Amino acid sequence: MRTIKDLLSKTNLELHVIDLELGKMSYFEVGTRKNPSLVFLHGFGTNALDFSQIAQRLENNFHIILIDLPYSGESNLYYTDSYKPLEISEWLKEGLEIIGVSQFHLIGHSISAHYIFDYASRNKVLSLIALDGGYLKPNMLEGYSLEEELKVTAEIIRQSKYKSEQHFFDSHQSWTENEFVIARRNYKSSDEGLIFSLPENIAVQMIKDTADCPDYDVIQQIMFPILILRSSLPAEINHIREHCVEVFKEYKEVEVVTLEQSEHDIHHSNVDDVVVKLNDWVNNLK
């Protein structure tokens, strides 16, 4: 049974944990700081190693930082019951200042696109790259209900538990070893066995606190280039995606690229395409 240590031994990723006034931040770093810096924020309910495939493909040409959001890995956010983009971006700002990166491209998947937009509305970045996030209004989807999403989120968290390490392993035998290790990092040991690291109440609050996003007032304040790489599956909601992109463009100039036959986790379903687009975007901005 492979462990996180085994996975890291096959990469050049280095794990760091830093204390902040606002909490704690864990992150992985790879590549020389002489190269352009890319800072990644993962999506909801996963962790920084979700970007490990991309990091391995980009590390020779970039300096890469993969950050664990609060309650992923060793990260935490103290003294607050709010997880609005403002709170996350302030936490991010403090962490990046301690890490010592001042010029970087900021990349966020899914919910983290809202966090990077908020950050860039008040702080300097070289550019922003949203991976299938930051443009879609959930209430545009037919039958969508925030109340139902909160209910489903809470139920998923409650059910995400395993009696033992072996139970976890046996439940996911179809996964690759890397998928298993990355997913295992989303859980912590308890008297009940393995439970999800992201507490139910905080998971629900994170969804509530981005329910009105994208915030176009925030987006209008961004003075830096934005690239959105968006998914194309399921195809039946592409007309909604396209409408939301057009609304976004009314507030901020943005380059949008649709990756064909791509799912929401485009950095998995279309990892090679994402790597090419990131390379091209950064190189064309030089």
Phi, psi for 270 (deg, rounded to 5):
-135, 50
The predicted structure's pLDDT at residue 5: 79
For residue 131, give the nearest of 280, 286, 268 by alpha carbon: 268
**Burial (CB count within 10 angstroms: exposed 0-12, middle 13-18, buried 19+), residue 72:** buried
For the stretch 243-275, pLDDT in tens is 999 999 999 999 999 999 999 999 999 999 999
The predicted structure's pLDDT at residue 286: 80
CB atoms within 10 A of CB 242: 13
SS3 content of the chain, % helix, strand, coil (to 5): 45, 20, 40
Position 1 confidence tier, pLDDT thresholds 50, 70, 90: low
Give me the mean pLDDT over the 213-242 stretch. 97
For the stretch 61-90, pLDDT in tens is 999 999 999 999 999 999 889 999 999 999
Helices (H) and strands (E) in the chain, counts: 12, 12
For the stretch 5-34, pLDDT in tens is 777 777 899 999 999 999 999 999 999 999
The predicted structure's pLDDT at residue 138: 92
Coil vs helix vs strand at 6 = helix
The predicted structure's pLDDT at residue 2: 66
